[in-house]
């Protein structure tokens, strides 16, 4: 029996949810390039695509948006739970606990699309409510007239967000909504394979995302951008780090051996918003200089900006503290996790790998 530690490159399922092609730098959601979706669709539309296999018609979109908005309001028992958690409960602990609390007895196997909508819409409300409570601020009720992403920003800040910031965060959340059979998605599918409910599967996925090896925040990239500070400092700082043997945070990826399509899509969004936020402009300049220097110092390594690099620029422009990075990532991934749970439900077989015993045997 072959043993593959970490199950790297082991194919455990067939899927039509997404294609992650690291060799060619391609990310596809249900037959659509994720980069195109990030530029032209709302997050809600992409969730619909992941769950139903196609983008909604105009009539379907109107009904879906209305149901989505209504689901953003939390049940009173969940609001009370969030407010009563001790301060030692951080953002990810709160999201994990609140999602679990929303899965009442009616959440049985198999999962339904309405359950996924309810949990995915509510996730940003959970994050925003807890964040404001930890800041000593009153929560802001969801404005049902806003889009999912605009509503999230409004609940965090209390102001109607700019179109540039909504477009940037919308693109980020679409591009992180799904990414194949990663650790958290696999966790969710394992739980679903036992015929457990959707809330349990998503709670488990959040637990996996909480680990720094999976849901690590792009804070290192923000530190790099802050150290550079202005475009004229970019080459000096970057060259110094490369010559000192330091890793440039936000460049290279363990899956993508060429350009990270998510990073490229976010780059395009920031280019289209050029001049509307200084952090977008700085990130574009730093990326160009860094890629040129990496090609000079490390020829043949194929090191390009990954999704974390431009995510950092967007989150910095939004003035998100690091405490919001992984919860926002997780709220975005709710759509992809749910899509995989549906797929697991459709052709279910319990996921039960074997282990080879290497311990001692009983003495005669």
Among 230, 294, 233, 234, CA closest to 259: 294
What is the pTM (predicted TM-score) of this model?
0.90
- Phi, psi of 91, deg, nearest 5: -65, -45
Q: Which of 353, 259, 338 is nearest to 47 (CA)?
A: 338
* Rounded distance between C-alpha atoms, residue 165 and residue 152, angstroms: 11
DSSP string spanning 220-232? HHHHHHHHH-SGG
The β-bridge partners of 20 are 27
Q: Is the pLDDT of residue 3 over 80?
A: no
* Predicted local confidence at residue 163, as pLDDT: 92
Q: Do domains 14-215+323-346 and 219-317 have the same CATH topology?
A: no
The tokens for 73 are 């309001």
Per-residue model confidence as pLDDT tens digits over 34-68: 999 999 999 999 999 999 999 999 999 999 999 99
pLDDT in tens, 229-251: 899 999 999 999 999 988 888 88
Q: How far apart are alpha carbons 107 and 96 in whole angstroms?
A: 16
CATH architecture of 219-317: Orthogonal Bundle (1.10)
With 0-12 / 13-18 / 19 or more C-beta atoms within 10 angstroms meaning exposed / middle / buried, residue 42 is: buried
Read off φ and ψ for residue 215, nearest 5 degrees.
-100, 25
Q: Is the pLDDT of residue 214 over 90?
A: no
Catalytic residue IDs: 253, 308
Q: What is the pLDDT of residue 217?
A: 61
Tell me how far apart the alpha carbons of residues 317 and 309 are, in angstroms, rounded to a whole number: 13
Spans of all domains in the chain: 14-215+323-346, 219-317
Coarse DSSP helix, strand, coil percentages of the chain, rounded to the nearest 5 percent: 60, 5, 35
The pLDDT mean for the chain works out to 91
- Sign of the CA dihedral with 90 first, then 95, 100, and 101 last: positive
Q: Which CATH architecture has domain 14-215+323-346?
A: Orthogonal Bundle (1.10)
Return the higher-pLDDT residue of 269 and 210.
210
Q: Which two tokens stand for residue 44?
A: 């809600």
pLDDT value, residue 314: 86
């Amino acid at each position: 029996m072959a043993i593959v530690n970490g199950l790297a490159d082991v194919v455990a399922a067939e899927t039509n949810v997404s294609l992650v092609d690291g060799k060619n730098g391609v990310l596809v959601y249900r037959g659509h390039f994720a980069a195109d979706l990030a530029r032209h669709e709302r997050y809600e539309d992409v969730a619909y695509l992941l769950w139903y296999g196609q983008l909604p018609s105009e009539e379907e979109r109107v009904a879906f948006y209305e149901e989505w908005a209504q689901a953003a309001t939390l049940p009173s028992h969940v609001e009370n739970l969030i407010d009563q958690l001790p301060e030692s409960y951080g953002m990810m602990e709160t999201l994990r606990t609140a999602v679990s609390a929303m899965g009442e007895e009616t959440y049985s196997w198999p999962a339904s699309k309405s359950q996924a909508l309810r949990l995915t819409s509510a996730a940003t409300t959970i994050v925003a409510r807890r964040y404001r409570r930890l800041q000593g601020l009153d929560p802001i009720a969801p404005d049902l007239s806003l889009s999912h992403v605009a509503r999230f920003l409004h609940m965090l800040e209390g102001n109607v967000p700019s179109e540039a910031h909504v477009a940037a965060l919308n693109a980020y959340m679409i591009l992180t909504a799904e990414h194949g059979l990663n650790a958290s998605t696999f966790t969710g599918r394992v739980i679903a394979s036992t015929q457990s409910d959707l809330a349990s599967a998503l709670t488990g996925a959040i637990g996996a995302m909480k680990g720094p090896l999976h849901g690590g925040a792009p804070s290192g990239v923000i530190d790099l951008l802050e150290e550079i500070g202005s475009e004229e400092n970019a080459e000096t700082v970057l060259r110094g780090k490369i010559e000192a043997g330091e890793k440039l945070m936000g460049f290279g990826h363990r899956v993508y051996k060429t350009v990270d399509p998510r990073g490229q899509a976010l780059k395009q969004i920031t280019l289209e918003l050029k001049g509307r936020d200084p952090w977008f402009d700085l990130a574009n300049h730093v990326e160009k200089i860094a890629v040129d220097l990496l090609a000079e110092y490390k020829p043949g390594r194929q090191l390009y900006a990954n999704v974390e690099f431009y995510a950092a620029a967007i989150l910095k422009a939004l003035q998100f503290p690091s405490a919001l990075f992984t919860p926002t990532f997780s709220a975005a991934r709710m759509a992809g996790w749910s899509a995989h749970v549906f797929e697991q439900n459709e052709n279910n077989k319990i996921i039960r790998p074997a282990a080879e015993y290497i311990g001692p045997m009983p003495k005669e």
